[in-house]
């Protein structure tokens, strides 16, 4: 009965390996190399406001954080985002096959403001100025004009009540009349403020502007105490989705324009990279040889499982894609060293059972069974840590921490799969399937 189960697993394993080989060799999923290994694209952004207007430091910092989240949504892209001087943000992206798309993503401002327009409803498309970084806006100028162009009839200025940064969640939805709109909920700490505000200003207009352009001008008809509401406008599905996405990832507090884009070379010399990778691979090969020498046949099967581990990990790296930097590669090699752990646990257990005089079939079986509790508990502990790192990284906007958690969790999950399922299937089929023959050649088991 268990032989049948092993054969089914063997088929599943072969299918997974096949899929991984396809992914690794497919030109659609190239290896993404990091800034240190192959350089990339450098984009210098400058605040798109008149030169004499000072930009508060915290607004620049917020903009940096948001740009960094936009280019690194999963946390595994490894960009470099820095504030330069007092009105610029420097972004370096590894590789980049599609620079225009990357730049467009960085630059989208989507500064959403709720402004107090008193008793006045503003028509959609009206340009305004707001008390948040008060000054002329891009909206008032013809496309492509310099920001310092003098404006004959400046737009009226309104008080900013709230910005998109106060939103906790936003998503696009469709009404019964087939209108697309964006529903949002406020951060818990803003709910009370918004309830008070809507209570005091009932009947007045709270106009919603995106990049200083009116998108809707609703009247406050009721007190909003739940902290959630909707933004309507004449949105298409795409517009509603894009707005919701921008609101979720945060809107830039200042408009940015591209000062320059250039290519940057690799930071690490070819030689340093090659030396490190070769040294790491040599270390891994020594570990594999040790496993084979010490555990004989099971060790050989474990070595095969480890190579499959490497292949699967690489396939996931290319599929996501995870950007490979030199530290990421060494981390991966280290995880190969750690992935022997589950195998060692099982094999040591098998040897113990053999030494107690059990037969081969029993020893193999109880080796896996007994070792399982410690493999399970220790790996779950690491996965719990990954989950917490991921959550914190995400909610504090620390994409690097989030990315670390993603890669570590992938490594742990794949190592459990290879060490437990693949090794067990191979050991069961090969050693368990020839137990009588094995009994006469016990040296093959290292016992």
Partner 1 sequence: MSMFDNFVQKRRYFYIFSGIVIGLGFLAMIYSYVNRGQIFPLGVDFIGGTRFEIQFTNTVSEEQVRATFTEAGISNPSITALRGQDLNNAWQIRTEYVDANEAHSLQSALEKLAPLVPGTFSVTTVSPAVGQEVTRAALAAVIVSGIVVLFYIMFAFRQVPNSFRYGACAVIAMFHDLFVIFGFAAIMGMISGWEVDALFLTGVLTVAGFSLQDTIVVFDRIRENSARKRSGSFEALVNRSVSETIKRSLITQLSAMFVLLSILLFGGASIKPFIAVLFVGLLSGTYSSIFTAVPLLVSWELGEIPLISRVKTA
Rounded Cα–Cα distance for residues 54 and 107 (Å): 20
Instruction: Enumerate residues 6+ apart whose C-beta is below 8 A from 164.
Output: 110, 111, 112, 113, 246, 247, 250, 251
Rounded Cα–Cα distance for residues 331 and 325 (Å): 10
Rounded Cα–Cα distance for residues 282 and 132 (Å): 58
Q: Which of residues 219-258 bind partner 1 (CB under 8 A)?
A: none
Q: Parallel, antiparallel, or unpaired: how do β-strands 206-210 and 129-130 relate?
A: unpaired
Total binding residues for partner 1 by CB under 8 A?
A: 82
When binding is defined by CB under 8 A, the residue of 81, 170, 297, 316 that contacts partner 1 is 81
Expressed in angstroms, the distance from the first to the final Cα of the chain is: 27
Piece of the chain touching partner 1 by CB under 8 A; list 130-138, 144-152, 284-292, 312-320: 284-292
11 or 381, CB closer to partner 1? Answer: 381
Q: How far is the CB of 326 from partner 1 (least distance, A)?
A: 6
Q: Which of residues 34-53 bind partner 1 (CB under 8 A)?
A: 36, 39, 42
Contact status: 385 vs partner 1 (CB under 8 A): yes
One-character DSSP codes across 131-157: STT-S--GGGS-TT--TT---SSPPPE
Interaction pattern, residues 293-312, with partner 1; x per rule: CB under 8 A: -x------------------
Contact status: 275 vs partner 1 (CB under 8 A): yes
- Which tokens sit at 416? 């459990």
Contact status: 289 vs partner 1 (CB under 8 A): no
Rounded Cα–Cα distance for residues 215 and 181 (Å): 11
**100, 237, 264 from 38: Cα distances, Å:** 19, 38, 9
Rounded Cα–Cα distance for residues 334 and 311 (Å): 15
Q: How far is the CB of 193 from partner 1 (least distance, A)?
A: 23
Q: Using the structure block, give the residue that is written with the tokens 């990990």.
A: 313
When binding is defined by CB under 8 A, the residue of 183, 228, 267, 366 that contacts partner 1 is 267
Strand partners, 127: 213
Contact status: 368 vs partner 1 (CB under 8 A): no
When binding is defined by CB under 8 A, the residue of 107, 171, 330, 366 that contacts partner 1 is 330
Contact status: 324 vs partner 1 (CB under 8 A): no
Piece of the chain touching partner 1 by CB under 8 A; list 102-110, 125-133, 201-209, 275-283: 275-283
Contact status: 355 vs partner 1 (CB under 8 A): no
148 or 278, CB closer to partner 1? Answer: 278
Which helix (H) or strand (E) segment holds residue 116: the answer is strand 112-116
Piece of the chain touching partner 1 by CB under 8 A; list 107-115, 161-169, 207-215, 342-350: 342-350
Of 31, 42, 34, 28, the residue nearest 103 (C-alpha): 42
When binding is defined by CB under 8 A, the residue of 24, 121, 141, 401 that contacts partner 1 is 401
Contact status: 373 vs partner 1 (CB under 8 A): yes
Contact status: 119 vs partner 1 (CB under 8 A): no
Q: Using the structure block, give the residue that is written with the tokens 């508990």.
A: 377
């Amino acid at each position: 009965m268990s032989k049948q189960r092993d054969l089914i697993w063997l088929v599943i394993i072969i299918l997974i390996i096949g899929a991984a080989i396809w992914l690794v060799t497919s030109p659609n999923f190239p290896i993404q190399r990091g800034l240190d290994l192959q350089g990339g694209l450098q984009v210098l952004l400058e605040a798109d406001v008149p030169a004499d207007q000072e930009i508060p430091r915290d607004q620049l910092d917020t903009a940096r954080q948001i740009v960094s989240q936009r280019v690194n949504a999963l946390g595994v892209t490894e960009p470099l985002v820095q504030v330069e001087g007092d009105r610029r943000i420097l972004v370096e992206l590894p590789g980049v096959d599609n620079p225009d798309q990357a730049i467009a993503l960085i630059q989208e401002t989507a500064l959403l403001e709720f402004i107090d327009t008193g008793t006045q409803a503003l028509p959609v498309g009206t340009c305004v100025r707001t008390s948040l970084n008060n000054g002329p806006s891009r909206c008032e100028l013809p496309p492509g004009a310099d920001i310092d162009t003098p404006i004959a009839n400046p737009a009226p200025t309104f008080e900013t009540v709230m910005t998109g940064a106060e939103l906790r969640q936003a998503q696009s939805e469709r009404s019964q009349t087939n209108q697309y709109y964006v529903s949002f909920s406020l951060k818990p700490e803003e709910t009370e403020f918004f309830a008070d505000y809507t209570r005091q200003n009932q009947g007045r207009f709270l106009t919603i502007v995106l990049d200083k352009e009116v998108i809707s001008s609703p009247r406050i008809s009721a007190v909003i105490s739940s902290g959630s509401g909707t933004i309507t406008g004449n949105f298409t599905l795409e517009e509603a989705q894009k707005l919701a996405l921008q609101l979720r990832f945060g809107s830039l507090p200042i408009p940015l324009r591209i000062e320059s884009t250039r290519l940057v070379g690799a930071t690490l010399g070819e030689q340093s990279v090659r030396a490190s990778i070769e040294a790491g691979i040599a270390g891994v090969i020594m570990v594999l040889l040790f496993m084979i020498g010490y555990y004989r046949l099971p060790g050989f099967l474990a070595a095969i499982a480890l190579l499959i581990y490497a292949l699967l990990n690489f396939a996931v790296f290319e599929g996501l894609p995870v950007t490979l930097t030199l530290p990421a590669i060494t981390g991966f090699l280290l995880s190969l060293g750690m992935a022997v752990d589950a195998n060692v646990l099982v094999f040591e257990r098998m040897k113990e059972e053999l030494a107690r005089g059990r037969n081969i079939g029993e020893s193999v079986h109880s080796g896996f069974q007994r070792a399982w509790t410690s493999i399970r508990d220790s790996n779950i502990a690491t996965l719990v840590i990954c989950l917490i790192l991921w959550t914190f990284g995400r909610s504090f906007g620390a994409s690097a921490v989030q990315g670390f958690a993603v890669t570590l969790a992938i490594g742990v999950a794949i190592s459990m799969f290879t060490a437990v399922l693949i090794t067990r299937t191979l050991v069961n089929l090969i050693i368990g399937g020839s137990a009588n023959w094995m009994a006469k050649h016990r040296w093959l088991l290292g016992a």
